[in-house]
Amino acid sequence: DAEITQSPRHKITETGRQVTLACHQTWNHNNMFWYRQDLGHGLRLIHYSYGVQDTNKGEVSDGYSVSRSNTEDLPLTLESAASSQTSVYFCASSNRDGGTEAFFGQGTRLTVV
């Protein structure tokens, strides 16, 4: 069965360190997204990609970057982790057409100390 997996599931890092969260999907979807989930804010879009070599900034992109070198993977990098980036991060993928289902990973809980 097709799926979308995130790793690690939990991570603790120190302020100022670079951190990369992995996202891998086997749906062969063109669209991939990174959201962060915080109480009182719901899910907010960080970055997204519509295909290989395509990346775009979302609503809360400061301090984050992504790269898309193949269809399956969209790693999210925190250049210099800050306590404000403590959150639960979700990766999602969908096919190219609008108005279709987005499939989410299980999430990565990141704590910056």
Partner 1 sequence: QQQVKQSPQSLIVQKGGIPIINCAYENTAFDYFPWYQQFPGKGPALLIAIRPDVSEKKEGRFTISFNKSAKQFSLHIMDSQPGDSATYFCAASKITGGGNKLTFGTGTQLKVEL
The least CB distance from residue 53 to partner 1, in Å, is 16
Shortest distance, CB of residue 16 to partner 1, whole angstroms? 29
Establish how many alpha carbons lie within 13 A of residue 37's alpha carbon, considering only the half-sphere containing its beta carbon.
12
Q: Are 19 and 110 in contact (CB under 8 A)?
A: yes
Q: Taking the alpha carbons of 36, 41, 42, 48 in that order, is the dihedral positive or negative?
A: negative
Rule CB under 8 A: say whether 87 interacts with partner 1: no
Least distance (Å) between residue 64 CB and partner 1: 16
Residue closer to partner 1 (CB basis): 29 or 112: 29
Site mask for partner 1 (CB under 8 A), range 18-57, x = bound: -------------x-x-x----xxxxxx--x-x-------
The correct pick among 67, 71, 75, 104 for binding partner 1 (CB under 8 A) is 104
Residue 108 phi, psi (nearest 5): -125, 125
Which parts of this chain interact with partner 1 (CB under 8 A)? 31, 33, 35, 40-45, 48, 50, 58, 90, 92, 94, 97-102, 104-107
